Chains A and B, each alone.
Chain A
Amino acid sequence: QKEVEQNSGPLSVPEGAIASLNCTYSDRGSQSFFWYRQYSGKSPELIMSIYSNGDKEDGRFTAQLNKASQYVSLLIRDSQPSDSATYLCAVNVGRYNQGGKLIFGQGTELSVKP
């Protein structure tokens, strides 16, 4: 069974701090990695994608990927109360003929305190 693991939290950070969210995955052949944000009662919303080792920055968000360690992380700089949500790590475990097989971790609940 291919797995994606996240700490469930809750992770609590003060407003303005850096929030660090982590994810590990079991399928060494995975090529595509995503972070979704889900507010309570809402659908998941894609915020970052990453395919290559290293860092990818988009505004206050930075995704980091280390395929050798099978590790993906998301950093949120200058955290705001509006960032309070559950963050889902997702990994595409499909191959060329199985595109679309995207599995999710259970999510980390983030709480940003004013």
Chain B
Amino acid sequence: EAQVTQNPRYLITVTGKKLTVTCSQNMNHEYMSWYRQDPGLGLRQIYYSMNVEVTDKGDVPEGYKVSRKEKRNFPLILESPSPNQTSLYFCASSLSVGTGEDYGYTFGSGTRLTVV
């Protein structure tokens, strides 16, 4: 089944303890992205990647890191989580995003992160 898989689904952690949220897609998609969703603020893009080793900042990159060493994986790293990073996080991937043939993003099931 074609899908974007995120892990874990739920995570509670303490301030300052480094964590990684994994994301993997099995559709050979070029593009991958991370979003966070907060009440009243909607979906905001954190980082996106156009291919292996090519990443760029979205609108809210502060406090996050990403890497794209393999085409299928795009982990989100929080080096020193803070309570304001408590949110619902979505990973997404797309065959092609931009002008011309543009298929839009397919989203994973989400990771609900709580930082206390």
Contact = CB atoms under 8 A, between A and B. Distances in A.
B107 A102 contact: no
B49 A102 contact: no
Does more than half of chain A's interface fall in helix, strand or loop, or is it mixed?
A: loop
B49 A100 contact: yes
B106 interface: yes
Interface stretch (B11-19, B38-46, B77-85): B38-46
Contacts of B90: 43-44
Q: What class of interface size applies to chain A in its complex with B?
A: 20 to 34
Interface string A5-44: 0000000000000000000000000011010100000111
B73 interface: no
Given A99-B96, A100-B48, A100-B97, A106 B102 contact: no
Interface string B53-94: 000101100000000000000000000000000000010001
Contacts of A73: none
A78 interface: no
Contacts of B94: 100
Contact of B104 (A46, A103, A106, A107): A46
A106 B42 contact: yes
A101 interface: yes
B50 interface: yes
Report which residue of A36, A96, A98, A102 has the largest number of chain B beta carbons within 10 angstroms of its beta carbon.
Answer: A102
B33 interface: yes
A45 interface: yes
A95 to B, nearest CB: 8
A65 interface: no
Nearest to A97: B50
Contact of A43 (B56, B96, B108): B108
8 contacts: A1-B59, A34-B104, A43-B108, A100-B33, A100-B97, A103-B59, A104-B35, A104-B44
